[in-house]
Chain A
Amino acid sequence: MADYTTSELMVSRAAKELKNGDVVFVGIGVPSLAVNLAYRMHAPEICMIYESGAVGCVPTRLPISIGDPCLVTGSLAVVPMYDVFNLYLQNGLIDVGFLGGAQVDRFGNINSTVIGAYGKPKVRLPGSGGACEIATLAKRVVITIANSKRTLPEKVDFITSPGYLRGGRERERLGLKGGPELVITDMGVYRFDDETREMVLVSVHPGLTERTIQENIGWKVKVAKDLSETPPPSPEEIRIIRTELDPRGIFLRSKAS
């Protein structure tokens, strides 16, 4: 077994999705690590914005929450949340948003509100936070989630954050641009078909097969013709993650393989 964890692989893969100069709405955990990894590797001009209002952050320790004081110290700007959502997000300045959730379905709709019926929940989840507006107003969305029948059902119990809704052109018809472009799980990576807008498996993590994926997803997922193996993190990426980004293993050690 190669010397890296699945979480490190996910961070590395998510980092590769970011371009130099992207303005990124950052969340805690894998997204935060991915953006900071991209910043140190290939995207030194990336601009990190946290929904707490910190813009152009240069955190010198791993932020534990999206409102960590280390995001303020040395940042380019600290703005009220009115500005974050109106002047930055709604105004179209955010290139990439990272989202997670309890469920993601075949068309990239995300549920972070409730399992079961809304009025009589089996499990009450935290709710949208800023996720719904990121899903509707960011130019590109990258989703990270565990790969299982429970987390990837054919249809989510509740659409907190819209993906491509029921597929096809429904999202565009409602006047929404953007949409999810990539789903990164602990087993593989998916993109969305340009026409049907459904999730398509494009790469499988080293050591796993397409069959494992089909056994851990809530519908028969389409597979890309050029299905590949997800590239593992490089030794330099692993060094940065372990010694600079998460030296105490707060987010990644627990999932070490």
Chain B
Amino acid sequence: MSKVMTMKEAVARFVRDGDLVVMEGFTHLIPFAAGHEIIRQRKKNLTLARLTPDLIYDQLIAAGCVAKMIFSWAGNPGVGPLHAFRRAVEQGIPQPLAIEEYTHFGMVQRFSAGAANLPFLPTRNYPGTDLTKVNPAFKTIRSPYTDEELWCVPAIRPDVTVVHAQRADADGNTQVWGLYGVQKEAAFASRRVIITVEEVVESSVIRSDPNRTIIPGAIVSAVVHEPFGAHPSFVQGAYDRDNDFYVKWDAISRDPGGLQGYLDEWVHGLPGRKAYIEKMGPRFEGLRADRQMCAPVNYGF
């Protein structure tokens, strides 16, 4: 069954006000096009979870979509702080932002527990840190097999997870290569899954290389064909990270007015990602990836 639809339709149908929303991607494959559509549709009171909120959640916070953020590292990687996040936490601008804070390992365990339908997962991490003092969700458990006490984190079950990927078929069988992040676990933990892809392919393409499939169509609600949907993040084999934009974001977001100007021009002022790439113009061509093909493998028997 084809689940292919437009970004507008997918976000309207599967992202609701008040949802716990996850748009994962560790530097790689961050679903910016979906984030922009959520801003355009003016979704409200969202709880956002992500290891690294990155620019995408900074934009959603500035747009007034977010009531709470669950995270482990809130910065602009390699550049500096996330200014909209800091304004919300330090000054309540544009509205107060509740935070629930873990570490990368803790967030990975939370998604993994949710994906496996477990209430929690233990780790050997966390003795000595003050994080367990400010977040009551950290709890300890005595191992029933050894004489050890371990810190635990609770499962997370998002309402909706958005994953951007290189390719999927119309049913949502999704293939990723390059950095995996925690997208597979987030998708399996989630009630609804939106897949956005560079390319929608025939199922025969997926079946020609089944080891590369990380998300099965069975858990997918919608498939959106959205080329360049991860910019300014990157897609291995398609386009490079726009590091210059990450640097520019520091200046754009430092001032609330400048940030609103960006949202007006590049999000509200455009109908979708196609117009965004056209507006970028020839600069985008410089980001296209070189070809580096892998050695073929034999799936025969």
Contact = CB atoms under 8 A, between A and B. Distances in A.
B182 A82 contact: yes
10 contacts: A67-B26, A67-B179, A67-B241, A80-B180, A81-B108, A126-B73, A127-B71, A128-B73, A132-B103, A136-B125
A151 interface: no
A89 interface: yes
A131 B241 contact: no
Q: For A65, A136, A176, which residue has the most chain B Cβ atoms within 10 angstroms?
A: A65
Interface in A86-138: 86, 89-90, 113, 118-119, 121, 123-133, 136-137
Contacts of A73: 292
B74 A51 contact: no
Most chain B CB neighbours (cut-off 10 Å) among A90, A128, A171, A175: A128
A248 B26 CA distance: 26
Interface of A: 28-29, 51-54, 64-69, 72-73, 78-82, 84-86, 89-90, 113, 118-119, 121, 123-133, 136-137, 158-162, 165, 170-171, 174-176
Given A28-B78, A81-B181, A89-B105, A124 B86 contact: yes
Interface in B276-291: 289
Interface string B152-189: 00000000000000000000000001111110110000
Contacts of B117: none
Chain B: number of interface residues, binned into ranges: 35 or more
B251 interface: no
Contact of A126 (B27, B81, B108, B240): B81
B274 interface: no
Given A64-B243, A67-B241, A126-B82, 18 more contacts: A29-B78, A52-B179, A65-B27, A66-B77, A67-B26, A69-B240, A78-B179, A79-B180, A80-B184, A82-B108, A90-B105, A128-B102, A133-B103, A137-B125, A159-B129, A161-B129, A170-B128, A176-B128
Contact of B128 (A51, A69, A78, A171): A171
* Chain A interface mostly: loop
Given A127-B101, A128-B73, A158-B130, A72 B78 contact: no
Contacts of B89: 121, 124
B124 interface: yes
A204 to B, nearest CB: 30
Contacts, number: 164
B59 interface: no
B123 to A, nearest CB: 7
B292 to A, nearest CB: 6
A90 B103 CA distance: 14
A113 B130 contact: yes
B231 interface: no
A176 B151 CA distance: 13
B75 interface: yes
A132 B26 contact: no
A124 B182 CA distance: 25
A52 B181 contact: yes
A30 B134 CA distance: 31
Contacts of A66: 27, 77
Contacts of A118: 130, 134
Contact of B77 (A65, A69, A119, A174): A65
Nearest to B75: A126
B108 A85 contact: yes
Q: Which of B82, B123, B124, B185 has the most CB of A within 10 A?
A: B124
A56 B78 CA distance: 21
Contacts of A174: 127-128
A175 B146 CA distance: 14
Interface string B70-113: 01111101100110011001100000000001111100110010
B12 interface: no
B36 interface: no
A37 B101 CA distance: 35
CB-based closest 5 A-B pairs? A67-B27, A162-B128, A129-B73, A126-B75, A174-B127
Contact of B90 (A79, A121, A128): A121
A131 B125 CA distance: 11
Contacts of A53: 26, 179-181
